[in-house]
Amino acid sequence: MTRRLHQWMPKLWKVGAIASGTAVISTAVVALPSPPFTVSASLPELPDGAIANLEAARQGLLRSSRAIYTFAVNSYDYKYSLKDYDDKSEEYFQARSEVHKRAAERLLKLCQANRGFYVKAGQFVGSMKNVPQEFVTVLSVLQDKAQPWPYHAIQKVIEGEFGQSIGDIFAEFDEEPIAAASLAQVHRAQLKGGEEVAVKVQYPHLQQQFEIDIRTMYTLSKAISMLFPDYQFEWIVVEFEKGVSRELDFKQEGKNAEQTSKNFASKDHVKIPEIKWDLTSRRVLTMEFMHGFKITDTERLKKAGIDPLQVAEVLVEVFAEMVFCHGYVHGDPHPGNIFVHPRDQVKGKRNFDLVLLDHGLYRELDEGFRNDFCRLWKALILLDSNEMEELGDRLGAGHFYKYLPIIFTGRPLNSKSGLGRGMSLSERNQLKEEVRHFTMGDVSQFMEGLPRDFLTVLRTDGLLRSITSKLGATPRMRLIINAKYAVLGLAQQHRGDPGRGTQGWKAHTKAVYDYANLRLRLEMFELSYKFGLLYGSLLKQLRSIVNRTVGRFLKIEART
């Protein structure tokens, strides 16, 4: 034990210095009268002056202290608990899984205690496909409804933004929120003209709190890289900061909603709430009230006569068009942000509309990435290893490119199974053996090398897969739709609506031909796969018949 402490002392001194610096920064950010940060400089004056600053400093120090404590305990747990195991032994893998779970549970407690941005960060980590499964499982509970703020605090934010009382702005305003998330909550209201609206209100002093929390996260990420040189996760904090900074500006969210509405203008089954700009600011967003229920509420879907499989199909189509054709992607498609609204009149085969909410987190994909990602999906479907290796290198996956088919399609590069049928037992065992030897350093290296656009589509794909599985959809359906839109996106002359009118008849004709060719090749592959299964089954039965016949013959011979 003494030897271990001696080995740890230099690093512990560094961590202690970092932790102290974090606490000082956290206090200074809120205690100084003129903070040197651009975001905080735009904040309105806090009530009660110095008293509010002292309270904010106390809260900042408390939140940072919890984070530092969690970081320290988790670091020691990883270092000490795994130190005496052979990193290739079964005992090591079991111990590592247990440490992952303990670390994830501590992070969950931290997020629940600090709320706000920590919950958002926990959701971000929990939705990533390349972190250990223990973290995904434990942190998934953070997707549930958050605890709302009291009405008087929300009232102050609204009245502070518009300089009027709520009674002067709205004819009616429900004090009980209809939804609450990590950064804001939504209330139902009625305008003076009688129109029903939804009012999204940011929690008080959130932007100032963001300055404290993000600096704590930056500091701790540097400490992690210092203690564990293979673990380079500072880029996660950078991406998280960029994403949350955009989400804190509700005017930008309104612009995202309007752009998405334009992108789907020709799709009457996709609904985006209209923004009421005269009652929208950086911290308050007023929009058309959209009726419906959560997309994963299968009981209400069936009660309304809506087929969950059709809902899953429309959902995948909408997001596939976003990724492969528009290059403008909703980055947070969890069930609370997607509603289903039954239609009074059925048009075509669909008797419902898909309502997209919460447009705060979007990413506009680079045009080169969009084109390469379309090509990658075509190669994934056809298991074209040469094309996949080239694109994997272009997209930053490096030698990890061989795992891209598993991530997106659920089958390895050399798979003999049909599309959407998953892996055979031997393939699954082989993959399990390879993955169990991955270290967090491998995960860090893989994810750090990927373009940030790639991380966005990875996260979106994971969230959509979770929803479609709850709706009972097959993996094959999701894969075929993505393949279709990848071909459409690849044939486009420019990003946008993949329809004939905006892309030209030549591009449209080429896309139809390429997709038909792709489907034909897939069907031929499936047919050969089924013939292989049938041949194997017949061969097995024939062997069984021969063995039984030979057995009977030998028994007869033995009697005679």
Q: What angle do CA 324, 326, 329 make, to 5 degrees?
A: 85
In the numeric block, which tokens belong to residue 428?
């699954």
Burial pattern 97-113, b for ≥16 Cβ within 10 A else e, equals eebbbbbbebbbebbee
| Residues present in the chain in total | 560
Of 176, 174, 195, 199, the closest CA to residue 186 belongs to 199
CA separation for the pair 546, 146 (Å, rounded):
66
CA separation for the pair 219, 14 (Å, rounded):
11
CA separation for the pair 122, 58 (Å, rounded):
23
CA separation for the pair 384, 382 (Å, rounded):
5
Of 223, 213, 227, 225, the closest CA to residue 18 belongs to 223
Catalytic, 332? Answer yes
Secondary structure percentages of the chain, helix, strand, coil, to 5: 65, 10, 25
For residue 480, which amino acid is it? I
Q: CA separation (Å) from 157 to 164, 183, 275?
A: 11, 13, 19
Q: Are residues 503 and 472 in contact, defined by beta-carbon separation less than 8 angstroms? A: no
CA separation for the pair 31, 56 (Å, rounded):
8
Say which of 213, 332, 358, 372 is annotated catalytic.
332
Catalytic residues: 332
